[in-house]
Amino acid sequence: MTIEDLIPAEITNDSFYIELSKLASRADLKTFLEIGSSTGMGSTQAIATSLKLRSDPEARLFCMELSRPRFISLVNAHKENPRVYPYNLSSVATSDFATEEQVRLFYRSTSTNLNRYSIESVLQWLRQDLEYIGLKRLNYNGINFIKDCNSIDNFDFVLIDGSEFTGEMELQYVWGAKVIALDDVNAFKCFSAYLRLKTHYGYKLIAEDLGLRNGFAIFERAY
């Protein structure tokens, strides 16, 4: 499978989908960021459907998808929903990606679902992501780009579900959001982000299921 292949939605009609739908209905949450929207089904559908039912026009979902074919599908899936703003961007620059040595160390020292794959396969995913960003000339911080374009200091809600190798740094750039949801916490993607949020006094865990696929967790700012 390559980065341009269309893939079926994973977050569909399960407890994570339901939690995302509920959060998208909360009146105090206005600006939503989804990192890794893929073709626009799954988690995107959960959030977008609830937002479309709201009466407050400022409630918006900003979607980020690096793969061009998946981005096109995302746009087509939600072109009738004025709440959805798709961006064909990398969430962070290549300098913020984990290094091969960091990935190797994690793979050797931490047992997660990532170990179902060979280390060479995992490293090939990393090289593919970096090569694609360079090829498409998208080597800049997409999170900050969306913030700047839309005059947003902090998003109200963020779902981190992008590249396997950027979750920890993505958390850095969205820190301060009212609600932060993580997918794939039992993998390299969001393992460190999960530990940081779980042990930080500024956030409280409001939902999790570590046994659903690669595990998810949702945190809300405590103050």
In a domain, 200, yes or no: yes
In a domain, 166, yes or no: yes
In a domain, 8, yes or no: no
**Helix, strand, or coil (residue 2):** coil
In a domain, 204, yes or no: yes
pLDDT at 223: 82
- CATH number, domain containing residue 99: 3.40.50.150
**Helix, strand, or coil (residue 13):** coil
- The number of folded domains in the chain is 1
Residues 6+ apart with CB under 8 A from 36: 64, 65, 91, 159, 160, 161, 162, 163, 183
In a domain, 203, yes or no: yes
Q: Is the pTM of this model over 0.85?
A: yes
In a domain, 165, yes or no: yes
pLDDT digits (tens, 9 = 90+) for 54-97: 999 999 999 999 999 999 999 999 999 999 999 999 999 999 99
Q: What is the secondary structure of 54-76 as a DSSP string?
A: -S-TT-EEEEE---HHHHHHHHH
Residues of the chain with confidence (pLDDT) below 70: none
